[in-house]
Amino acid sequence: MAPDFLQSDLYLYGVLPLLIFFARICDVTIGTLRIIYVSKGQRRIAPILGFFEVFIWIVAISQIMKNLNNFACYFGYAAGFATGNYIGMLVEERLAFGKVLVRVFSTDNGADLVQILNASGFGATSFQAQGAQGEVSIIYSVINRKNLPEVQSLLLNFNPNLFYVVEDIRKVNKGIFQATAQPKISIFERWRKGK
């Protein structure tokens, strides 16, 4: 960019705040994903995301420090932070990364619900317990997070008034999970030496 343009009002009060706004969206979105990967114990991805998050943040904050009298930059910074939080949550929902525990409390026959879940490819375990309203079946199922809408649909078709809780899980050892699509093998992996 020409030096004259970098000093113009159009750049300082129009373009620069927009650049800071988009930089903050990027770094906060990456930060949201980094936190999720840290909570899931993903040691390889989290540091890489952290590098890009901080790099983008430093670039944005350095522009604010150069233009301390420019309140449009402050607005772009704050608006980018808020928007980045929102977009980060949307991206995280779309990724549906990891596994969740679905804990169901049913006054109906829990064995029937276990059969329904098993028939759909989801592992489930039930046991009897005593609740505030008498005998209840407690059903546990650990599923891939991306399958949660399907499981919720099965639960609500079984009983629209069913009480259930969904919790994030950090690690799982073995289990019965619905088959997922096999990852595509790249050309380079297919023709690798020794194959």
State the pLDDT confidence band at 186, using cuts at 50, 70 and 90.
very low
Mean pLDDT estimate for the chain: 84
Q: Is 174 left (phi over 0), alpha (psi -120 to 50) or beta?
A: left
Higher pLDDT, 42 or 123: 123
Ordered by start, the domain boundaries in the chain are: 3-95, 99-169
How far is it, in rounded angstroms, from Cα 75 to Cα 85?
16
Candidate from 14-23, 27-36, 74-83, 170-179 with smallest mean pLDDT? 170-179
Across 75-79, 107-111, 155-159, least confident range: 107-111
Confidence of residue 190 (pLDDT cuts 50, 70, 90): very low
CA dist 38 and 27 (Å) reads 16
Averaged pLDDT for residues 74-102: 90
In contact, 152 and 142? CB cutoff 8 Å: no
What pLDDT sits at residue 171? Answer: 74
Do residues 102 and 140 lie in contact, with contact meaning Cβ atoms separated by under 8 Å? yes
Res 169: pLDDT: 83
At 10, the pLDDT band (50, 70, 90 cuts) reads confident
Q: What does the pLDDT average to over 39-48?
A: 85
Phi/psi for 71 (5° steps) reads -70, -20
Q: Phi/psi at 134 (nearest 5 deg)?
A: 110, -150
How much is the pLDDT for 178?
A: 62
- The first and second tokens of residue 94, run together, are 């779309």
Per-residue pLDDT, 19: 94
CA separation for the pair 191, 184 (Å, rounded): 14
SS3 83: helix
Rounded Cα–Cα distance for residues 80 and 23 (Å): 7
pLDDT tens by residue, 125-179: 999 988 887 888 999 999 988 899 999 999 999 999 899 999 988 777 766 666 5
Angle between helices 71-95 and 45-66 in degrees, nearest 10: 160
Q: Which CATH architecture has domain 99-169?
A: 2-Layer Sandwich (3.30)
